[in-house]
Structures are given as C-alpha cells and as structure tokens.
Structure 1
Amino acid sequence: MSDLTVIEPRRPRHCAECHQGPYPRLFMESDTPRCLDCADLGHLVYLPRGDTALTRRASEYSTLSAVVVRFNRNRGRYERQGILVEEEALARAEEACLADEESRARRRTRDAQRRTTQDAAFTTVLAAEISRLYPSCPPERAQEIASHASLRGSGRVGRSAAGRALNEHATTAAVRASVRHVDTPYDELLMAGTPRNAARSVVSLAIEAVLAAWRTPTAPHPNSAPPA
C-alpha cells in the first residue's frame, strides 16, 4: 500500500504553497497542506472505494499512487475514501476487470448450459422410471410429472437426494402428488375452504384408483401379432 496520504478536509482549506483554494483534497507534508499540483500529484485521477478488484489492480499498475482519507468524527479516526492513481493505470485496470467479467459471464453461460443438459437427462431417466413403475401411465403424462418434480430450485421430490437416486418411494410420491392435483378435485376443495387433511381424505380413494390403473400393464390388443 502507498505511504502517500491525501486528506479530504472537513472544512475549507487552502494550499500553503500557492495560497489558492479551497481544495477538496490536500496532501499533508509535515502538517502543511499542499494542493495536489504543488505536491506533484495533480496528474493522478481519483478512484472512489467500492470496487475492490479495480482498486487493487489500479494500485498495482500505477507507479505513483496515494490513499485518500477523511476524518470520521463519530469514530474518531481517518477512513479510506478511495485512491489517486495514474490515468493509464486506471484504464488498464478497467480493461482487466472487464475481461474478467466477460470471462465470468461465459463461465456462467457454460454452467447454465451444463445444468440444463444434466436436468434434461435426469428428467428423461425419471420419466422412464415412472413408466416402469406405472406402465399404463400415458408417456406424455410421465414426462410431465418428471419435468415438474425435477425442476431445479423447486424443492420438489425430484430435487431431493432420494429423488435423484430414483428411490421408489420418492418417485411414487411425485406421481401421487400429480394425480392429486390433476385428476381429483383436491385443489377445488382447498379453495372452497376444506382443511388440507380433510381434502386429502376425500380424494384418497380416487388417487388409489388412478395409481392402480396405471400399475396394471396395458393388455395387448386381441388381434395383435405375437412377438417373433
């Protein structure tokens, strides 16, 4: 860190050398305030605090730099406000940070694409498992259930550890939830003010009927040719 310190005075102060001012920033030398031009710092540009990466790089790239501070009366201490650096160093630091941001953006895009591919693959596997457990479940419905249950960030059963492991109980829970909301009047009962447990009790037999029908393999058509 630079040993040069520039202050932002709390009250108007003039330069002790050129007697001009008041100035928003002064370089203190042996308790004598000098403006930045008289202190040979006038060619530096101000970079306020806030962007840690930009500040760090600008400080590294600048041959000459100074820390800008202001006295905080409540805390009884000087606090950093920013830095003064060479303009070329700041421009170089900005370019480097921009390149980093572009790199991070590309990485985020790649990560999102990878997650999308992984999610699509898992949804396909989950749909196949639903079809295995419930062979008479329409394929498009199995896909719909799998997509709903495995939505990233949803907190649904397909995102749980058991769901990702294709645990039969978790898979059945996803199918049961779908049947409850789609194939029974459960949602209408809730909207009508029926307590949740009571609504579940009302639709339980209808759910079991659908699940039982889906568990039964579809019988082959009587006129279908036997397998070779």
Structure 2
Amino acid sequence: MASSRATPSLPVGLVVHQAAGRRHCAACRRGPLPLVVLENGAPRCLDCADLGHLVLLPRGDTALTRRAREESALSAVVVRFSRRKGRYERQGVLVEEEALARAERRCPADAEARRRRRMRDARRRAAEDARFTEAFAAEILRLFPGCPQERARAVAAHASVRGSGRVGRSAAGRALSERAVISAVVASVRHLETPYDRLLMSGVPRHEARRRIAAAVETVLTGWARPGQQSTG
C-alpha cells in the first residue's frame, strides 16, 4: 500500500506520482508507467500498490472531486513535480469507479443551488466593492477637496479593483489609511497630469522619471489640497 507519510511539499494521505521519465515497477517490472506509487523510494505500479481498481478524475471540477472522495472508500491524490516551480502540483485524484458515478449523479442535483449561491455571492461582493469605492473616494475628497468629484471616484475605482493588487486592496488601503489614499492619488496624477509615461517610453529610468515630474505632481496636489490658492513651490 502507498505510504501516507507527509512531506512539506506533498499532500497528506495516499499519494500517486505522475512518472517522470521511463519508470518501471520494482515488484513486477512492468513499465514504463504513467503513474507510480513510491514505497521506501521504490516505484510500484498501481496494481502492485493495490490501487489498480481506481480511476483517475482529473483536476478542474472542485465540487465533483470533493463528492467523489466522499463517496470513495479509498482514494489517492495524483501529483506531478514541477521543476520550474520547485513544488508538487495536484493533477487529480484516483477514486473508485462506482463512487465517481455516484458523485456525478449528485452534482447535477444541486447545480442550480450552487448557481444561485454564486449569484448571491457575486451580488454581495459587488455591493461591498461599491461601498468601499465610495468610502475611498470620500477620503480622497477629504484630503483633496479641490479634486474633481468624478476624478476622485475614478481614482478610487481604479485603486480598489478586487484582485488587482493595487494600493486600495492592500491592508492599508482597506483601512483607508491616509498614506494609501495619497499614494493612489499621486499615482493617478503622475500618469495623467505629467509626461511620466512618455519619459518611461523614451527609456528614462523610473526613478529618474519620477524625479523629473515630482514638482509637477506636487503642484497638482497642492492645488487640490488648497483649492483657490496658487502653489508657490
């Protein structure tokens, strides 16, 4: 039977490896093998490891995979080592064929419920995002009352796109910290009110380009922070 001993880079439980190269079973000498079980470092075919009656369910359908494993008395995770990423990656699971059939019958039964849940979750996230964007825009206008309202909303919307990794989605951004809000405004001014992008496209290093347009950025920020007053800098 396959070893269940976990290593830092392998999932817990029975593990089957997609064979790298031409591997042969150390017990029956059959091969080359597409899938092997390592027992004390020696490759075994699925039959010799008592897993030959299982069928492969490729990764991709999370709900089906979960149900198939629930239905199957015996299952194993199939992994492949990625040399480029330096880690094992899941390729699917081995489960009993009858268990997979039962799981496939169960999944369509609640597909509509899952669809409705996804729609509810999407609406909830959209409402949360809209509230956060409005709060971010309000904080921009508090710090820069001279900033046009449409511009403040545009900056907030850009900075707070879910999954973008932008400043609005950082911990500081979600907390509406002054530094994060100012950073978002500065980035917008840098790209829209200065020749910063043209400098980058012409080969000017980023830090040098920022140095050249720093005064222009400060002029805009000062004007927005103190509307009606001219910057003396």
TM over 0.5: yes
The alpha-carbon deviation at position 106 of structure 1 amounts to 2.3
1:168 maps to amino acid: E
2:113 to 88, 92, 103: 103
Partner in structure 2 of residue 20 of structure 1: none
- Aligned pair in 2 of structure 1 residues 156, 83: CA closer, same or farther (>3 Å)? closer
Judge conservation of contact 1:162–1:170 (CA < 8 Å) in 2: yes
2:179 to 169, 172, 175: 169
Q: Quick check: 2:68–2:95 contact (8 Å CA) kept in 1? A: no
Cα distance, 1:117 vs. partner?
0.7
Which entry has the higher C-alpha Rg, 1 or 2?
1
> How does the TM-score come out when normalised to structure 2?
0.57
Among 148, 165, 169, the residue aligned to 1:155: 165
Distance 1:192 1:104, change over 3 A: same
The separation in 2 between residues aligned to 1:84 and 1:149, in whole angstroms, is 50
Unaligned runs of 5+ residues in structure 1 are 1-9, 11-45, 61-66, 68-79, 220-228
Q: Report the Cα offset of residue 56 of structure 1.
A: 5.0
Q: Deviation of residue 154 (structure 1)?
A: 1.1
Match in the other structure for 2:202: 192
- Contact (CA 8 Å) 1:124, 1:146: kept in 2 or not? yes
Unmatched 5+ residue regions in structure 2?
1-29, 31-52, 58-63, 75-93
Q: 1:100 to 1:218 in 2, by over 3 A?
A: farther
Partners of 2:54 and 2:96 within 8 A in 1: yes
Q: How much has 1:161 moved relative to structure 2?
A: 1.1
Instruction: Quote the sequence identity (%).
Output: 54
Amino acid at match of 2:152: A
- Residues 47 and 84 of structure 1 are in contact (CA less than 8 Å); yes or no, is this contact kept in structure 2? no
Match of 1:13?
none
Distance in 2 (alpha carbons) for counterparts of 1:125 and 1:157: 14
| Aligned-residue CA RMSD (Å) | 2.9
CA shift in 2, pair 1:207/1:81, >3 Å: closer
Displacement of 1:47: 9.5
Identify if the C-alpha distance between structure 1 residues 93 and 171 changes in structure 2 by more than 3 Å, giving closer, same or farther.
closer
Q: CA, structure 1 residues 47+160, in 2 after alignment: closer, same or farther (shift >3 Å)?
A: same
Equivalence map 1:83-162=2 (5 Å): 83=97, 90=101, 93-162=103-172
Per-residue displacement from partner, 1:202-223 (whole Å, max 9, x unpaired)? 000000000000011359xxxx
* Mapping 1:43-62, distance limit 5 Å: 48-50=55-57, 52=65, 53-54=67-68, 56-57=70-71
1:83 Cα shift?
A: 3.1
Q: Are the counterparts in 1 of residues 69 and 95 from structure 2 also a CA contact under 8 Å?
A: no
